[in-house]
Amino acid sequence: MKKITYVPVIKTADAEVRALENLTETATNKITPLLEFTRSRKSSKIADGDIHRRVKRLAETFKNRACFFDLTTDPNLTNDQIKELQSNAAGYKNWTNFLIEYKKDFSKIIPTLQISDENLDSEDEHYKRLKRQVEVLADNFDKILFRLPLGYEFAEKDMQEISAKIPADRVVCLIDAEYIPKDKASVYSANAVSLVKQLSKFSPGRIVVAGTSFPKKPTQHGTDTEGRMALEEKLFYQNVTSTEKGVVYGDYATIHPFRNDQSGGNGWVPRIDMPTEDELFYFRDRKGNSEASYAGAYERVAKRVAATGDYRTVGKQLKDCWGLEQIASAADGIPPGLSPSFWISVRMNIHMSLVTAR
């Protein structure tokens, strides 16, 4: 299995999947995504969404590429089907069966351990079920992922129990900082370093740190028409690796950890976000009362993005990037998408292309 160098944490909603599918083959080969499966889009025939539709859509791209499998805990993106897969009953049997079923479609799955105390009366029963999950996964997969949040109190205890059933060098650990607020990278990295030191005692195969600074509302970093923010996740990682060597970089590919639908009954304000190496800036422009669609507003903001020195600099770094091509098309008066979801895909695609271009 290839060396893990970049782990984008990707929920499998439409915008995220579109961003992944439009990466170049070179960029795709440089990522090991953590695919956090969500329900599919609801429809009249599938009222609650179907996770299998999301899994099958990604099978072509990641059939022979390493990727982590996990399940979302976002209440806006889950359903009863996902909750059943997260159940700890019979040693998380629903989850392990699901993973084994998809081995034929994804030859290099790295499963994430599900950890739940639901309906358990004792710590012994919790670890009994966890270790049963580890045993089954160890028998069927080369590696497994132990994902834990910042401030997690049971990192050493859990690793001790996990490594009793699988060699620690077959365990990848991911420390998930989730949302990192502005100017908080140093505080969050100190907590991450503490966890890295605890996990390192077991010599796991890899330790990844991941987080995101993309806010629920980007305008909190600017005005109604434009703004700029530092990518705190980059500073977070730099702080961690200043003392802890060999830690792998991860992020949420410029997505907030929890769903924040932008459109509504009154429409939305067209916005295009442009990532750079260490920052992200945006321009917004409202649709005019006389305009029949959002096309004019997206053209105007795309022209503003394309006129910046940052856009030209990134363009020199990325000779082949779908996301940049969409901005160029919009700036030429042919916006390829008129929804917030489409432009989220553009932002993510550019960001992941930049990370893999290093």
Bridge partners of residue 210, in order along the sequence: 176
The position carrying tokens 């961690």 is 240
Nearest to 146 by CA among 124, 176, 123: 176
Cα 25 versus chain centre, distance: 19
Q: State the pLDDT at residue 46.
A: 45
CB 11 within 8 A of CB 72: yes
d(CA 336, CA 334): 6
d(CA 11, CA 253): 10
Tokens of 90: 């019979």
Nearest to 335 by CA among 308, 288, 296: 296
Q: What is the tens place of the pLDDT at every residue in 196-225?
A: 999 999 999 999 999 999 999 888 899 999
Q: What is the tens place of the pLDDT at every residue in 105-138?
A: 999 999 999 999 888 889 999 999 999 999 999 9
Helix (H, G, I), strand (E, B) or coil at 116: coil
Nearest to 113 by CA among 153, 166, 60: 166
CB 49 within 8 A of CB 39: yes
Nearest 5°: the CA angle 7, 10, 11 is: 155
Q: State the pLDDT at residue 154.
A: 94
Q: State the pLDDT at residue 201.
A: 97
Domain extents in the chain: 6-260, 264-358
Reading the chain (358 residues) residue by residue, the pLDDT tens digits are 679 999 999 999 999 999 999 999 999 999 999 999 998 655 444 445 688 888 988 998 999 999 999 999 988 888 899 999 999 999 999 999 999 999 999 999 999 999 998 888 899 999 999 999 999 999 999 999 999 999 899 999 999 999 999 999 999 999 999 999 999 999 999 999 999 999 999 999 999 999 999 999 888 899 999 999 999 999 999 999 999 999 999 999 999 998 765 444 468 999 999 999 999 999 999 999 999 999 999 999 999 999 999 999 999 999 899 999 999 999 999 999 999 999 999 999 999 999 999 8
Q: State the pLDDT at residue 40.
A: 67
Q: State the pLDDT at residue 261.
A: 53
d(CA 28, CA 317): 17
Q: Distance of CA 78 to CAs 40, 254, 341, Å?
A: 9, 21, 19
Tokens of 53: 């539709």
Quick one: fold of 6-260?
TIM Barrel (3.20.20)
